[in-house]
């Protein structure tokens, strides 16, 4: 029997619930990372060819923002309970495709199968953790405020709107989940620039989102060069907030310059951890905190007369 020729894949973007090609027609090769502590036989830092990924352009980023803006009102108007159920369904589908995710994380990050499995399990648990906050945020973040007068004064959290996310460069799935789930759980939508060199787990996450109950446009995933898309998203007038986490370890990306660009329409900005000269990715294995949700919330305060 002749040896079977492997089918080489060229993956697409995930925008508005669909999988379009990049309008530029460009793609780039994705290679496996060498195992931790090892180098490839050639001594290079790249391993075996895995697939081709679409190289998103500025136009693709604009299209993703349009899709996110279109989806945001409907997603925000969904009940908190419904959003929690939708997000929990994503975790169920992730669990069903965990074997594929383990293979992709192992190849992307140069991990053993056991360590990759632990990372995938943690990513699924992390998604469930954030899903559980959907109908609890209002009680924890909002409140009934004491005032000097016959009024009820109530503060309630509301989503910021469209959030641009520079995904972590090193943690291809756990880090990705840790920046997407807290943004969308409260009713925001997002445009995500995935890890430049490790995009395949994000591609699979897009397929998971498309086959779960998440409405198209709530999450939009762009593969490609972070430095090309980040400035346009930071300065885009229809983006309400930006998470610069992925700028911490991305080449040719200055998070300080992105923060200045974001100021043009007073975006909310979440900075990378650490000081400007020593920004680093967080340790995604640690317990998540509320700030990744509250950083992308607005507070509405309502006054209502109180009868005697």
Mean pLDDT of 170-198: 97
Residue among 47, 60, 4, 50 nearest 223 (CA):
60
- Over 60: is that where the pLDDT of 285 sits? yes
> What confidence score (pLDDT) does residue 38 get?
47
Residue spans of alpha helices (H) in 80-189:
80-96, 98-109, 113-131, 137-141, 174-184
Reported pTM? 0.91
CA distances from 168 to 199, 280, 296 (A): 10, 10, 18
Tokens standing for residue 168: 């972590």
Q: CATH number of the domain at 10-305, out of 3.10.20.600, 3.40.50.1820, 3.40.640.10, 3.40.605.10?
A: 3.40.605.10
Contact 248, 274 (CB under 8 A): yes
Tokens standing for residue 174: 């756990």
* Whole-angstrom distance, CA of residue 187 vs CA of residue 83: 8
Contact 118, 111 (CB under 8 A): no
> What confidence score (pLDDT) does residue 247 get?
77
* Whole-angstrom distance, CA of residue 267 vs CA of residue 265: 6
Residue among 185, 230, 182, 223 nearest 205 (CA):
223
- The ranges assigned to domains in the chain are 10-305
């Amino acid at each position: 029997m002749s040896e079977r020729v492997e089918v080489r894949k060229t993956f697409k973007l995930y925008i508005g619930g669909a999988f379009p090609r990049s309008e530029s027609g460009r793609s780039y090769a994705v290679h496996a990372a060498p195992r931790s502590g090892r180098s490839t036989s050639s001594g290079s830092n790249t391993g075996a060819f895995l697939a081709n990924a679409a190289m998103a352009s500025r136009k693709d980023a604009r299209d993703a923002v349009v899709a996110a803006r279109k989806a945001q009102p409907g997603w925000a108007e969904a009940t908190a309970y419904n959003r929690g159920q939708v997000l929990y369904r994503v975790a169920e589908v992730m669990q069903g495709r965990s074997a594929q995710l383990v293979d992709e994380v192992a190849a992307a990050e140069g991990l053993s199968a056991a360590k990759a499995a632990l990372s995938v399990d943690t990513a699924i648990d992390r998604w469930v953790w954030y899903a559980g906050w959907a109908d609890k945020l209002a009680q924890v973040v909002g409140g009934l405020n004491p005032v000097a007068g016959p009024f009820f004064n109530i503060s309630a959290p509301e989503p910021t709107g469209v959030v641009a996310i520079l995904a972590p460069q090193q943690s291809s799935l756990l880090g990705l989940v840790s920046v997407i789930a807290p943004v969308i759980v409260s009713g925001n939508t997002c445009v995500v620039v995935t890890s430049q060199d490790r995009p395949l787990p994000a591609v699979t996450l897009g397929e998971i989102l498309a086959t779960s109950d998440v409405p198209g446009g709530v999450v939009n995933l762009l593969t490609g060069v972070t430095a090309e898309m980040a400035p346009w998203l930071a300065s885009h007038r229809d983006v309400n907030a930006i998470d610069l986490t992925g700028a911490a370890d991305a080449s040719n990306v200055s998070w300080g310059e992105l923060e200045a660009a974001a100021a043009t329409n007073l975006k909310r900005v979440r900075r990378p951890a650490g000081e400007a000269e020593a920004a680093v990715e967080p340790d995604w294995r640690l317990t998540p905190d509320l700030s990744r949700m509250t950083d992308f919330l607005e507070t509405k305060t309502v006054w209502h007369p109180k009868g005697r």
